[in-house]
């Protein structure tokens, strides 16, 4: 009896160690390859056997990628698009979320569901008509077209996130403010908003990351004037030779803000990724 229990424990521990080992190698190795390639001298990028450990920290890749190619442009444009989109989305989404959370009126549930369903749309279904519409008014390859398009995709997310946070907020404070003569609007701005400030920041960062990463619309709607990071990187590939080192350098610089944001977001990660469906641990 005891022996079988012991054996079972041993087996279980072995299984745990195997799962962890496989996961660690699977998840770390590609990332390691990205980091190491960004430091490889040109011949090390194309050697056989492949270079597993670069001989020196070859920083020229960073110079080529960021200055000589489009790296800086991509990072600047991604920052412009992502931050203006985030501000716009928050300005529109917070009042809506507040209204849906606080005032129950006819069909408010179905309105919320409708807003959520806009998030489920496959982007390609909207990409074709939006391309034609932006073209018609001469907005192809402009910042405003990309910002507005991303807004439509971030809005449902932001509304649902903020709606959840407002619902978590006890009503008392706003009610007593209203009794003291505050209007609905001042109660919202002066009482509810400051109390949900951390949630607002988390929602903003999620919107920021979405715009920072988005690829399909960026490929379809922009060309030369606007070049966000996800379209700059493929641009480095179709030259005469593939500049792996420079690609990895630009990518790594582009990934850094995301890793920082994610560290900051830890507490809200699950909630944000599931559109508020799971409140997280």
Partner 1 sequence: MRIKEKRIPILFLLPCIVTLLAITIFPLVYSLSISLTNYELGRPIELRFVGLENYWTILFEDSRFLIAIANTFIFVASTITIQFFFGLALALVLNRSFKGRSFIVAVVLLPMMIVPVATGYIWWMLYDVSYGPFNYILEATRLTTHEAPIKWLADPSLSLLGVIVTDCWQYTPFMMLVLLAGLQSIPVEPYEAAQIDGAGRWQTFRDVTLPLLRSAIAVAILIRTIDAFKIFDLVYLMTYGGPGTSSEVASFYTYLNGFRFFKMGYASALSYIILLIVTLFTTIFLRFVRRGER
Interface with partner 1 in residues 31-70 (CB under 8 A): 31, 33-34, 37, 45-50, 52
Site for partner 1 in 147-206 (CB under 8 A): 148-149, 151-152, 155-156, 159, 183-185, 188
Choice from 2, 3, 105, 110 touching partner 1 (CB under 8 A): 105
Per CB under 8 A, does 16 bind partner 1? Answer: yes
Residue 147 or 199 having the CB closest to partner 1:
147
Choice from 64, 82, 93, 204 touching partner 1 (CB under 8 A): 93
Q: Which tokens belong to 234?
A: 């493929």
| Site residue total, partner 1 (CB under 8 A) | 89
Determine contact, residues 281/270, Cβ cutoff 8 Å.
Answer: yes
The nearest distance, CB 23 to partner 1, in angstroms, is 6
Determine contact, residues 144/85, Cβ cutoff 8 Å.
Answer: no
The nearest distance, CB 198 to partner 1, in angstroms, is 18
Residue 79 or 99 having the CB closest to partner 1:
99
Q: b or e along 9-46 (b: 16 or more beta carbons within 10 Å of the residue's beta carbon)?
A: eeeeeeeeeeeeeeeeeeeeeeeeebebbbbbebebbe
Choice from 6, 67, 262, 264 touching partner 1 (CB under 8 A): 262
Distance CA(9)–CA(196), nearest Å, equals 47
Per CB under 8 A, does 19 bind partner 1? Answer: yes
- CB-based contacts of 212: which residues, under 8 Å, 6+ apart? 78, 82, 228, 229, 254, 257, 258
Distance CA(245)–CA(238), nearest Å, equals 14
Choice from 10, 14, 23, 67 touching partner 1 (CB under 8 A): 23
Per CB under 8 A, does 264 bind partner 1? Answer: no
The candidate with the shortest Cα–Cα distance to 233, out of 206, 208, 253, is 253
Per CB under 8 A, does 6 bind partner 1? Answer: no
Choice from 55, 198, 239, 280 touching partner 1 (CB under 8 A): 280
Per CB under 8 A, does 84 bind partner 1? Answer: no
Site for partner 1 in 131-150 (CB under 8 A): 131-133, 148-149
The nearest distance, CB 63 to partner 1, in angstroms, is 19
The nearest distance, CB 89 to partner 1, in angstroms, is 9
Distance CA(54)–CA(44), nearest Å, equals 7
Determine contact, residues 261/254, Cβ cutoff 8 Å.
Answer: no
The candidate with the shortest Cα–Cα distance to 150, out of 212, 202, 98, is 212
């Amino acid at each position: 009896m005891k022996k079988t229990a012991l054996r079972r424990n041993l087996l279980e521990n072995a299984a745990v160690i195997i799962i962890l080992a496989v996961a660690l190698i699977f998840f770390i190795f590609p990332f390691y390859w990205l980091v190491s390639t960004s430091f490889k001298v040109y011949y090390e990028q194309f050697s056989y056997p492949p270079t597993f450990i670069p001989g020196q920290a070859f920083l020229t890749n960073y110079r080529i990628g960021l200055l000589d190619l489009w790296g800086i442009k991509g990072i600047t444009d991604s920052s412009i698009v992502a931050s203006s989109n985030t501000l716009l989305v928050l300005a529109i989404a917070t009042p809506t979320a507040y209204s849906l959370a606080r005032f129950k009126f006819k069909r408010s549930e179905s309105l919320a569901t409708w807003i959520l369903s806009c998030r489920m749309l496959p982007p390609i279904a909207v990409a074709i008509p939006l391309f034609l519409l932006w073209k018609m008014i001469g907005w192809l390859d402009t910042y405003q077209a990309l910002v507005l398009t991303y807004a439509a995709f971030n809005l449902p997310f932001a509304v649902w996130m903020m709606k959840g946070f407002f619902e978590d907020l006890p009503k008392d404070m706003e009610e007593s403010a209203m009794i003291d003569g505050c209007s609905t609007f001042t109660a919202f701005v002066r009482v509810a908003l400051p109390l949900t400030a951390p949630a607002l920041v988390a929602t903003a960062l999620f919107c920021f990351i979405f715009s920072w990463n988005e690829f399909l619309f960026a490929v379809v709607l922009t060309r030369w004037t606007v070049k966000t990071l996800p379209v700059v990187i493929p641009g480095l590939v179709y030259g005469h030779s593939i500049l792996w080192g420079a690609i990895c350098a630009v990518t790594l610089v582009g990934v850094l803000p995301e890793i920082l944001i994610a560290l900051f977001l830890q507490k809200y990660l699950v909630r944000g990724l599931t559109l508020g469906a799971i409140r997280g641990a």
